[in-house]
Chains A and B, each alone.
Chain A
Amino acid sequence: MGALLDAQSWRTLLENWPIFAAGLLQTVVASVLSMLLAAAIGLVMGAFALAPVRLLRWVNRVYVEFFRNTPLLVQVFFLYYGLPQVHVVIPTLWVGVLGLSIYTGAYIAEVLRAGFQAVPRGQMEAGLASGLTYSQVVRRIILPQALRFTLPPLTNQFVNLVKNSQVLALIAGFDLMYQTDSWSSQTALYVQAYIAAAVLYLALTLPLATWARRMERRMNRQLQRRADAGVTEVA
């Protein structure tokens, strides 16, 4: 690999750092915006799964199964090429964010549903018995516990989201992948471009993934200790 050792190529890459920085920024912005929107969708859809109304539970199942079993890229193309068809024109970044949110929202809905169902039923009964209202029990007792269970998987979903933001490259969304692809085809410095992009992506994903795993281990140990202490929780 002569290209790998060519000093001039690396100098060119360093001189062009603003291009990669702009791509990285766009990737971060798209990921954060999508995560916020996906969390909102996931929270509503996840709550539907526990609703006492059958129609809402059915909506949850259809949404989750449909969007998890179809390619993100097909969903994004549907929006990117389809919205102008019905005379809706929004900036490309927002098309990407919308697609990423709808897709990731389905996964987050599942994570939250599992989290809610992991909270023992007795908690609700105990809360109601001690005179709290239904919404107080949900807000102050159920939700905090459910969110604690789901923090690691939610972090993993965010890592997936950062990786999935690559779809922006295919709709000219000026993210890191797009800039890497266009810069490398202009300069023919493919080795430098892909190594730089890999390093930048890992700088975003590795710390998050590691943190998620640590949290998961800590929680498992806590649950283990509780079980050892004889506090059995049967959901």
Chain B
Amino acid sequence: MPESAPFHPWAVLFTPENLRFLAWGFGVTLRIALGAMAISFAAGVVLGTARFAGDRFPESPLARGVAALATVYIEVIRNLPMLLIMLAVRFLTPIPAIWAAITGMSIFTAAIMAEIVRGGLMSVEQGQWEAAASQGLSLWQTLRWIVLPPALRRMVPALVSEFITITKDTTFAWSLGIQELLGSGVILFNRYLNAMQVFALIAVVFFTVDFLMSLAARALERRTGEGLATQ
């Protein structure tokens, strides 16, 4: 496709083939983000519940042991830079790059999710547990009908803000040799040398996705009137 003179740094980004190229990179970004969201949330539920078990049943040695293991994982992992974990997975395992990115992100984010899950569980008052026990509900029934509904409602805003973080952090996959949205942008910039235009456009794409998510989180929080204080 011959470039029509004069060359314009903005216009060149909006040719059909370049838009398709960026859209393809955005597809990769979404795949990484959704994969990391699903895996880190599942792992976070397990870790967070494990740590909460120690808070809830301090007299049980098993619960205390499980909680101690979860606590060590959470405190060590969340205080490391995520890129370190991503690069370690990339170089120390034989899995394909995109799975190394998803796995590395999930190992890190699971620790953050765990604290959100634990916070939600802790926010349910002690009295609720005692009332449920006095009604003869089993542990499972207590969780299913009494504890989990308000706990999950309160987790939602913090979980969504973590989803926003995941979406932003997919850009680090670029350093593992994956061509996601940022990678597509770098290739276009190398061709046209219009860095400010390319990266401004990519920032706008991310902003649109992330800001909509944050509006949704706020709307949910207002509707339920409940949320954990997140920083």
Q: A153-B231, A166-B82, A194-B92 are in contact. Are A73 and B195 (CB under 8 A)?
A: no
Q: List the one stretch of A76-84, A124-132, A133-141 in contact with chain B.
A: A76-84
Answer yes or no: B203 CB below 8 A from chain A CBs: yes
Sample 11 A-B pairs with CB under 8 A, ordered by A number. A72-B168, A77-B186, A77-B199, A81-B189, A165-B81, A166-B82, A191-B92, A197-B84, A201-B80, A201-B81, A205-B80
A69 touches B80 (CB 8 A): no
A165 to B206, CA, bound (A): 21
Closest chain-B Cβ to A37's Cβ sits at a distance in Å of 20
Q: Which B residues are in CB contact (< 8 Å) with A163?
A: 79-82
Binds A, one of B133-141, B152-160, B169-177: B169-177
**In the complex, A85 has a CB within 8 A of chain B:** yes
Known A73-B172, A181-B87, A190-B92; contact A202-B79, beta-carbon cutoff 8 A: yes
Check: B211 CB closer than 8 A to any chain A CB: yes
Q: Which residues of A contact B194 (CB under 8 A)?
A: 85
Contacting residues of chain B (156-191) with chain A, CB-CB under 8 angstroms:
164, 168-172, 174-175, 182, 185-186, 189
Which of these, A71, A169, A202, contacts B80 with CB under 8 Å? Answer: A202
- Does A180 interact with chain B (Cβ within 8 Å)? yes
Q: With a CB–CB cut-off of 8 A, which chain A residues contact B182?
A: 71, 73-74, 77
Question: Is B196 an interface residue when CB atoms closer than 8 A count as contact?
Answer: yes
Interface status of A86 (Cβ within 8 A of chain B): yes
Name the B residues within 8 Å of A170 (CB-CB).
Answer: 174-175
Pair B195/A82 contact, Cβ less than 8 Å: yes
Verify B175–A184 contact, CB threshold 8 A.
no
Using CB atoms, name the residue of chain A closest to B214: A69
Which residues of the other chain, A, contact B203 by a CB distance below 8 angstroms? 70-71, 74-75, 78
Instruction: Determine whether the beta carbon of B168 is less than 8 Å from that of A70.
Output: yes
Instruction: Name the prevailing secondary structure of the B interface residues.
Output: helix
**Is the C-beta of A112 less than 8 angstroms from some C-beta in chain B?**
no
Number of residues of chain A lying within 8 A (CB) of chain B: 41
Q: Which of A69, A81, A166 contacts B83 (CB 8 A)?
A: A166
User: From DSSP, what is the main secondary structure of chain A's interface residues?
Assistant: helix
What total of chain B residues lie within 8 Å of the partner, measured CB to CB? 38
Assess whether A164 is in contact with B196, with CB atoms less than 8 Å apart. Answer: no
At the interface, yes or no: A21 with Cβ under 8 Å from chain B? no
User: Which one of B79, B189, B200, B202 contacts A201 once the chains associate, using CB atoms below 8 Å?
Assistant: B79
Contact B196 A194 (CB under 8 A): no
**Which residues of A, 176-235, contact B by the 8 Å Cβ criterion?**
177, 180-181, 184, 190-191, 194, 197-198, 201-202, 205-206, 209
Interface centre among A69, A156, A201, A206 (most CB of B within 10 A): A69
Contact status B80-A177, CB under 8 Å: no
Taking the complex as formed, is B57 at the interface, i.e. its CB lies under 8 A from any CB of chain A? no
Contact A69 B199, beta carbon cutoff 8 Å: no
Which residues from B are CB-within-8-Å of A194?
84, 87-88, 91-92
| CB-nearest residue of chain B to A1 | B92
Within 196-231 of B, Cβ neighbours of A (below 8 Å) are at 196, 199-200, 202-203, 206-207, 210-211, 214, 231
Interface string of A141-162 (1 = CB under 8 A from B): 0000000000001001001001
Closest to B211 in A: A69
